[in-house]
Amino acid sequence: MADGMDRFDGWLRQRLAETVEDAAAAPRRRLVLPGTVERRRGHPRLQGFVAGLVTAALLFAIVWTALNGGLRRAAPANPPSQKAGRVLGTTALPDPAFNVAAGDGAVWVPDARQGALLRIDARSGRVVATIAVASSALPPSTAIETVAVTPGAVWMTWSASDELLRIDPASNTVAEHIPLGVAPTSLAVLGGDVWVSATQANRVLRVAADTGAVRASLALTDPGPIAAGDGGVWVVSEREGVLSRIDPASSTVATVVTLPPGLDYVVDAVAAGAAGVWFRNLAAQSVERVDPASGLVVQQAGLGGGETGGVAGPVSIASTADAVWVTVTNALLRVDRRTLQVSRLPMILPTGVAVDADGTLWVATLQATVMHVAPGKG
Amino acid sequence: MRDQATLMQDSATRPAADQAIAAIYAREGTRLVGLARVLAADMDAGEDLAQEVFVRALRALQRDPDYLHEPVWPWLRTTLVRLVIERRRRIQREMSRLARVARASDSVEWPAATADVATALAELPPRMRACVVLRYCEDLSTIDVARTLGCAPGTVVVQLREARKRLRLWLEPPIEESGDG
């Protein structure tokens, strides 16, 4: 199988290289470069016609976009302040971290390279246990690891393994391997159930936390990031451009938000909790709140792109009672739930963010650290 | 009102920025246009995007002559990718396409030898397409692709897996496959 994929990858790489070569060599119709003597040439009347057409289309697009905004109260990307929070401590890890969960006095970080789950003592900030959870180390590029905490259990998945793992925090051992039959993508916990999305299989599974039994398997196209709270389980379907709510009482899927088509409305993170249901839109560099009752987007906060030579794209999202927290390339952003004011705490390459029971935050980074953050008030 | 020193600095900086951008274009222009056309899966839109990247570079250099450091290519590539997945730019490109209706005969055709790949890429969503191009054409690691796109590495893994599945189906590679991998 691996050999077949390697050969396909090699073939694809070759074809793509030829395609880029062809594209570069093809005639250029109208590229105009600054700093050269070449300037756009053309009939002034035609240029005027085109400019008029473009202007009219631009106006149409603006009106169309505004209309599609519905009930949104859009906030401009506010100049960031330094009031997002303060770092209480930093824990060094053996490898870059992509995800983190917190609860019961411990912080849990999957380590794909070691095939392990790291346990950090929340009080001392020290790694106190390295729990082997995979038979062998998994290459980070093939392992999407997700982790969540419930009282008395830690739940974890690897994309490379069709299993849901239950780790016993009392003994720091894997207590149960629950076969899913599908490759997991993301997981969330609600009440006594663990919800697992499986992108490739187009399924969302409901697993009973006490027995490990798969209670329901729901068909959903391209389910990705998943979150639980505010009366439901929320699943992003990126390809379909919808944010779906699953009713935990009936295990039925109700499509709640259909995102505007054809505009690269790229949603790939969702959080649900006391602050409501929020998702982040990578294309618009914003976080947006959905009203669960109406299914309408009712709040939108621009995060601001910023041209720093790198990319300022959000990576993860979480919510507390008064704020939504988003990691971007060089900062942890706090979006005030009420004012939509954005403030930032600079940090390097943060990835996952988790909210502890005491309201503090734990942020994993690709710098192989986990940072403990006291939230500010914005 | 700007003082004389600032005005003098501006007048000195602008030609220098022009020269710098001309040099960058001479070195990287063809490569960027090729990449832009593949990322956009559209010859004309790719040209627009490449041009926009150079315009941004020029503006940046006019503001700060030391803004770009060698190697410049990663900056050009990242800026290009961001433009591809940026909604506002897409709207503008769509409008440009509308404008081109009046002169459709000017459009550049994709060479027949690789038209199948271009057509298949065009069917992928922009970000998935960017994942494929950055991974396979630019040889970026999963983490670097994620950094460039501003998303989680896991998202890149999922996007690449889905893209491989679709491209294998659409392109029918002349090699024996034995699974999904």
CB contact under 8 A, A23 and B132: no
Nearest residue in chain B measured CA to CA from A183: B158
Contact (Cβ atoms closer than 8 angstroms) between residue B132 and residue B160: yes
If pLDDT is split at 50, 70 and 90, which confidence band does B57 have? confident
What integer pLDDT is reported at residue B4 of this predicted model? 39
Residue A252, min C-alpha distance to chain B (Å): 25
Domain boundaries, position A109: 80-375
Pick from A184, A174, A178: which is nearest to A212 by CA?
Answer: A178
Angstrom distance (rounded) from CA B171 to CA A8: 11
**Mutation target vs A (from B76, B78, B81, B151; most A CBs, 10 A cutoff):** B151
Pick from B12, B8, B4: which is nearest to B62 by CA?
Answer: B12
Smallest Cβ–Cβ distance between A4 and the set B43, B133, B179 belongs to B179
Both tokens of A39, joined, read: 């300037």
Q: A50 and A91: one domain?
A: no
What is the Rg, in whole angstroms, of the alpha carbon atoms belonging to chain B?
19
Distances (CA, A) of B14 to A38, A40, B60: 17, 20, 11
DSSP secondary structure, A101-160, as one string = EEETTEEEEEETTTTEEEEEETTT--EEEEEE-SSS---GGG--EEEEEETTEEEEEETT
What integer pLDDT is reported at residue B47 of this predicted model? 84
CB contact under 8 A, B117 and A15: yes
Nearest residue in chain B measured CA to CA from A19: B114
The single residue listed with the structure tokens 């952003």 is: A333
Residue A229, min C-alpha distance to chain B (Å): 22
Domain count, chain A: 2
Angstrom distance (rounded) from CA B157 to CA B143: 10
CB contact under 8 A, B154 and A33: no
Smallest Cβ–Cβ distance between B118 and the set A19, A98, A316 belongs to A19
Q: A49 and A85: one domain?
A: no
Q: A238 and A210: one domain?
A: yes
Q: A151 and A270: one domain?
A: yes
DSSP-assigned beta bridge partners for residue A236:
A243
Residue B2, min C-alpha distance to chain A (Å): 24
Q: A186 and A332: one domain?
A: yes
Comparing B14 with B171, the larger pLDDT belongs to B171
Contact (Cβ atoms closer than 8 angstroms) between residue A206 and residue A215: yes
Domain ranges of chain B: 1-108, 109-181
Say if residue B71 is preceded by a cis peptide, omega within 30 of 0: yes
CB contact under 8 A, B33 and A24: yes
Angstrom distance (rounded) from CA A295 to CA A301: 18
Angstrom distance (rounded) from CA A349 to CA A111: 17
Sign of CA dihedral B48, B54, B58, B60: positive
Contact (Cβ atoms closer than 8 angstroms) between residue B128 and residue B34: no
CB contact under 8 A, B143 and A46: no
Q: Which fold has domain B109-181?
A: Arc Repressor Mutant, subunit A (1.10.10)
Residue B79's identity, in one-letter code, is T
Q: A267 and A369: one domain?
A: yes
Q: A13 and A101: one domain?
A: no
In a domain, A75, yes or no: no
Which chain A residues touch B55 with a CB distance below 8 Å? Answer: 34
Smallest Cβ–Cβ distance between B102 and the set A12, A29, A50 belongs to A50
CB contact under 8 A, B151 and A282: yes
Sign of CA dihedral B154, B156, B157, B163: positive
Which chain B residues touch A305 with a CB distance below 8 Å? Answer: 82
Whether pLDDT at B149 is above 60: yes
CB contact under 8 A, B87 and A284: yes
> Averaged in consecutive runs of 10 residues, what is the pLDDT profile of chain A (378 residues)?
65 89 79 41 48 57 44 38 80 88 92 88 95 68 74 87 92 94 90 90 93 93 87 81 87 75 62 85 78 82 54 66 85 89 85 91 89 88
Pick from A123, A128, A124, A89: which is nearest to A109 by CA?
Answer: A128
Q: A239 and A361: one domain?
A: yes
Which chain A residues touch B43 with a CB distance below 8 Å? Answer: 23, 26, 29
CB contact under 8 A, B117 and A18: yes
Which chain B residues touch A8 with a CB distance below 8 Å? Answer: 164, 168, 173, 175, 177
**Mutation target vs A (from B59, B155, B180; most A CBs, 10 A cutoff):** B155
Q: A183 and A331: one domain?
A: yes
Nearest residue in chain A measured CA to CA from B106: A29
Both tokens of A150, joined, read: 């419930």
Residue B115's identity, in one-letter code, is A
Contact (Cβ atoms closer than 8 angstroms) between residue B132 and residue B124: yes
Q: How many CB pairs under 8 A join A and B?
A: 247
In a domain, A309, yes or no: yes
CB contact under 8 A, A185 and B158: yes
Mode of pairing for the β-strands spanning A153-158 and A163-168: antiparallel
- What phi and psi values does residue B60 have, to the nearest 5 degrees? -65, -40
Q: A140 and A271: one domain?
A: yes
Comparing A95 with B11, the larger pLDDT belongs to A95
Smallest Cβ–Cβ distance between B181 and the set A1, A22, A199 belongs to A1
Which chain A residues touch B136 with a CB distance below 8 Å? Answer: 9, 12-13, 16
Distances (CA, A) of B3 to A60, B105, B178: 42, 50, 71
If pLDDT is split at 50, 70 and 90, which confidence band does B114 have? confident
Helix axes B43-63, B73-85, angle to 10 degrees: 120
Smallest Cβ–Cβ distance between B33 and the set A28, A54, A57 belongs to A28
Predicted confidence (pLDDT) per residue in B155-174, tens digit: 888 889 888 888 888 887 77
What integer pLDDT is reported at residue A275 of this predicted model? 80
Q: A15 and A122: one domain?
A: no
CATH of the domain at A288: 2.130.10.10
Mode of pairing for the β-strands spanning A193-198 and A186-190: antiparallel
CB contact under 8 A, A53 and B75: no
Residue B39's identity, in one-letter code, is L
- What phi and psi values does residue A180 have, to the nearest 5 degrees? -105, -30
What integer pLDDT is reported at residue B176 of this predicted model? 53
Q: A160 and A107: one domain?
A: yes
CB contact under 8 A, A310 and B78: yes
